């Protein structure tokens, strides 16, 4: 019987190294802009043609439990310090099954952390402290 896919076992890899596991991920999307133009037939009938335009990709947002690792913060700090070119990295969002075997991978190109959000701290809450990053990139592809 095949292993059922779950959405709770996914990881961020940077340069082939597993950087962190996450509890939420969104924005693994690609879209083609649509260009509309009008065209007249020989009979004078007006048609609207739709053709593909430029490709665009959504930013990837990842959220995870805060732990002792500062790797994501340090990646963001490179951008804050003005070193965006060094912060650009190729990476992957990887889904694994219950046996920790890779079942799906999306590779992104030249990604950098455009936003880091720390935990909302509330002494009256029992929520898990999380951090969130937004990765801006120049393309995502299913491997």
Per-residue model confidence as pLDDT tens digits over 41-94: 999 999 999 999 999 999 999 999 999 999 999 999 999 999 999 999 999 999
Task: Look at residue 1 in the predicted model and tell me its pLDDT.
Answer: 52
**Segment 98-118, tens digit of pLDDT:** 778 888 999 999 999 999 999
For the chain, the residue count is 143
> Residue 7: which pLDDT band, with cuts at 50, 70 and 90?
low
CA–CA separation, 83 vs 61, rounded Å? 21
Q: Are 15 and 90 in contact (CB under 8 A)?
A: yes
CATH architecture of 10-142: Roll (2.30)
Which 3 state secondary structure label does DSSP give 112? strand
Task: Look at residue 121 in the predicted model and tell me its pLDDT.
Answer: 87
* CA 30 from centre of chain: 10
pTM recorded for the entire structure? 0.85
């Amino acid at each position: 019987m095949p292993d059922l896919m779950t959405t709770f076992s996914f990881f961020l890899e940077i340069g082939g190294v597993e950087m962190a596991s996450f509890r939420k991920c969104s924005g693994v999307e690609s879209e083609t802009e649509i260009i509309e133009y009008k065209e007249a037939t020989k009979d004078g009938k007006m048609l609207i043609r739709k053709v593909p335009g430029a490709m665009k990709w959504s930013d990837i947002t990842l959220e995870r439990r805060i732990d002792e690792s500062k790797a994501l913060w340090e990646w963001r700090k490179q951008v804050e310090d003005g070193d965006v070119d060094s912060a650009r990295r190729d990476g992957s969002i990887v889904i694994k099954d219950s046996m920790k075997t890779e079942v799906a991978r999306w590779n992104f190109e030249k990604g950098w952390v455009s936003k880091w959000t720390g935990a909302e701290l509330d002494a009256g809450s029992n929520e898990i402290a999380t951090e969130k990053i937004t990765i801006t990139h120049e393309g995502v592809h299913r491997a």
